[in-house]
């Protein structure tokens, strides 16, 4: 099963990179808010909530759960980048942006996971 998780993780990492590139091109560094990571983490929270509910309800098999939930979502979302981007905002004296980023990431991420779980 480790290969199933690894394959999902490879696709998740690639998807995160591609979505981040698309979002960064649209944002064009006009605002210090880390939109790419925020969008990746919120969409990943939603998808993981959805996949978790499907797995718990026995609508998907264990290998699909391992591929999508553990592998794909595990590599797609990125808490470490969230942490570094928050530190960078704080170091740049963008305290308000850092606070908004942290609060919005946690609250909207939790809400997205709940929506995905309860759909």
pLDDT tens for 28-56 read: 666 778 999 999 999 999 999 999 999 99
What is the chain's mean pLDDT, rounded?
Answer: 94
Q: Which domain holds residue 108?
A: 2-118
Distances (CA, A) of 63 to 4, 47, 75: 7, 16, 16
Residue 23, pLDDT above cutoff 70: yes
State pTM to two decimals: 0.89
Arithmetic mean of pLDDT, 7-22? 96
For residue 25, the model assigns a pLDDT of 86
For residue 29, the model assigns a pLDDT of 62
What is the full DSSP assignment across 91-116?
Answer: HTT-HHHHHHHHHHHHHHHHHHHHHH
The domain total for the chain is 1
Residue 38 tokens read as: 């925020």
Arithmetic mean of pLDDT, 89-101? 96
For residue 30, the model assigns a pLDDT of 65
- What contacts 72, CB < 8 A, 6 or more positions away? 8, 9, 11, 12, 15, 47
DSSP SS3 for 46: helix
Residue matched to tokens 């960064």: 24
């Amino acid at each position: 099963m480790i290969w199933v998780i690894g394959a999902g993780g490879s696709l998740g990492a690639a998807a995160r990179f591609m979505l981040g590139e698309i979002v960064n091109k649209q944002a064009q560094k006009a605002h210090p808010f880390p939109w790419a990571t925020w969008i990746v983490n919120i969409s990943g929270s939603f998808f993981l909530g959805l996949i978790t509910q499907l797995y718990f309800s026995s609508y998907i098999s264990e290998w699909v759960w391992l591929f999508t939930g553990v592998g794909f979502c595990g590599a797609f979302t990125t808490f470490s980048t969230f942490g570094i981007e928050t530190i960078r905002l704080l170091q740049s004296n963008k305290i308000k942006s850092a606070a908004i980023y942290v609060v919005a990431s946690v609250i909207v991420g939790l809400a997205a996971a709940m929506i995905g779980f309860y759909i």
